[in-house]
Amino acid sequence: MNLKKYVLTSLCATVLLGVLPGCGDSATDLPASDTASAVSETGIENTDLSQDKSDVALNATEIEAVLADAQEKLQIGSASGFGWTTTADLLAQAEQALEEGELERANELSVELSKQALASTQQASYSDAQWMESIPR
């Protein structure tokens, strides 16, 4: 065994390593990014007015109505013991944005708040009816 053979063997092994899955880089051919074409199931993007703000003028009264509706749902959620820690901050931010006349931001926040408020009431009724699903066998 001489040095030349050592080098040769090491070379061979390096080539081998290159093709070993798990060691090698199996993710070089990345999928083309198609974020833009991604479809969201939530329908939130329909209310995302950043796309159509040119044709719909944001209306403070409407946003206030959305906020009022969300607050009502929040009340139901926390009254049944299923409030989330995330909503108070969202509400405060939305109200501030509204006050400062940043309607686009206020709208975004109030839509997010409505979504979370609804999800927490759904969680409350799910847990009320199906809490036993969490009992492991």
Partner 1 sequence: MRTRLWISIVGSLIAAQCFGVFAESSAQTTPKAMASEQSAAAPEDIEAQVNLDVEVFQGFFAKRFSAVEFADYRNGVYALDEASREQWLEIEEFPPYEFSVDDGETLFETPFANGKTYADCFDNGGINIRQNYPFFDETLGEVITLELAINRCRESNGEQPLGYKKGAIASISAYMASTSVDQLMHPEVASDAAFKAYNEGKKFFYSKRGQLNFSCADCHMRVSGLRLRAEVLGPALGQATGFPVYRSKWMELGTLHRRYAGCNKNVRALPFAAQSTEYRNLEYFQSVMSRGLTINGPSARK
Partner 2 sequence: MIKINSSSGVSSTGSVAAAPMNAVMPLFAVFAVTLILICLSIQPAVAEEVALSAVQNQGKQLAFERSKGNCLACHQMADGALAGNVGPPLLQMQARFPDRAVLREQIADARIRNPGTIMPPFEAHGILSAEEVDAIVEYLYAL
In angstroms, what is the minimal distance from the CB of 58 to partner 2?
20
Q: How many chain residues bind partner 1 (CB under 8 A)?
A: 32
User: Residue 137, CB half-sphere, CA atoms under 13 Å: how many?
Assistant: 0
Tell whether residue 78 is a contact of partner 1 (CB under 8 A). yes
Tell whether residue 14 is a contact of partner 1 (CB under 8 A). no
The CA distances from residue 7 to 17, 19, 110, in Å, are 15, 19, 67
**Long-range CB contacts (within 8 A, 24+) of 22-29:** none
Q: What is the DSSP string of 11-35?
A: HHHHHHHHH-TTTS----SPPPP-G
Residues that bind partner 2 (CB under 8 A): 1, 6, 9-10, 13-14, 17, 20, 23-28, 30-31, 33-35, 38-42, 44-45, 86, 112, 115-116, 119, 133-134
**Chain positions contacting partner 1, by CB under 8 A:** 5, 9, 12-13, 16-17, 20-23, 78, 81-86, 116, 119-120, 123, 126-128, 130-137
